[in-house]
Amino acid sequence: MEITMHKYKDMDLKGATLINGFPSGGLMNSIVASYLINALNLDQICGLDADEFPPIAMVYDSKPKFPARIYASEEAKLVVFMSEFTPLPEMARDIARKVLSFTEDTGCSRIISPETNIIEKEGFELFGIGSTDAAREELKQMDINPLIHSMIAGISGVLLNEGKIRNINVIVPIALRGPETSDARTAAHVVEIIHRMIPTIKIDMQPLYQEAEGVEKYLKSLRKQAAKPEDHYDMYS
């Protein structure tokens, strides 16, 4: 799969943290990405497109947007890959490699790629895994318990494996949540972790949980609008 990058703006992103906002299970990644973009007023610097992406234009403020985009801030030293659609499994390698090549080309210091899994008991637990010794040490300093035995699939799995080979710091926080815990509340927990990990960003955490629920409802409505009645096309979810 060939992913085309339509660049709108150049930024000095050396040392920045990159957030993977491509959703895997549910909308958690999209909610995290959307909240960070809006809370920090990030600029759109690039649109991403591919023949395999859903043939849609997202419309924000009466302007068309590609189905996947890159937002950033020099001041905050933050890059966010944002997508409202869930990539099919066969897209994972190409998307992950595009993220990795962007990281190398711009000199970003690390990638954070959140994941979530549902567990039987209620509540919230956080674990993490890093691609390098430096990434694992950072998780240790954050008092995030290491994931010992498991499997990470999709984009995050490819980022971890290739991050190890390329010596790129990839951190995958894994939010384990009960069946009654929404994507929005899980995303709010993850944003809190990201806020702790990146001292260059300042977010008002007080309204986070209420706003996250609103973002989840909005993203769900967008996915419903994009559905094709004839084949129940639902943004690949």
pLDDT profile of the chain (237 residues), mean per 10: 94 97 85 91 96 90 92 96 91 97 97 88 86 96 90 95 97 87 83 90 76 71 59 48
Residue 121 corresponds to which amino acid?
A: K
Tokens 């869930």, located at residue: 86
Number of other residues whose CB lies within 10 A of the CB of residue 136: 17
Q: 3-state DSSP call for residue 163?
A: helix
Q: Can you give the pLDDT at residue 233?
A: 43
Give the tokens for residue 148: 């010992």
**Nearest 5°: CA angle at 26, between 40 and 233?**
110
Q: Can you give the pLDDT at residue 231?
A: 45
The architecture that CATH gives domain 4-226 is 3-Layer(aba) Sandwich (3.40)
Q: List the domain boundaries for the chain.
A: 4-226
Q: What 3 state SS string does 51-88 have?
A: CCCCCCCEEECCEEECCEEEEEECCCCEEEEEECCCCC
CA distance 82 to 221: 17
CA distance 236 to 229: 14
Q: Residue length, the chain? A: 237
Straight-line distance from the first to the last Cα atom of the chain, in angstroms, rounded to the nearest whole number: 19
Helices 183-197 and 28-39 pack at an angle, to 10 degrees, of 50
> For residue 4, what are the contacts with CB-CB under 8 A and spacing of at least 6?
48, 49, 50
Q: What 3 state SS string does 18-46 have?
A: EEEECCCCCCHHHHHHHHHHHHCCCEEEE
Answer whether 8's CB lies under 8 Å from 102's CB: no
Q: Can you give the pLDDT at residue 237?
A: 53
Give the tokens for residue 104: 């190398």
CA distance 122 to 103: 36
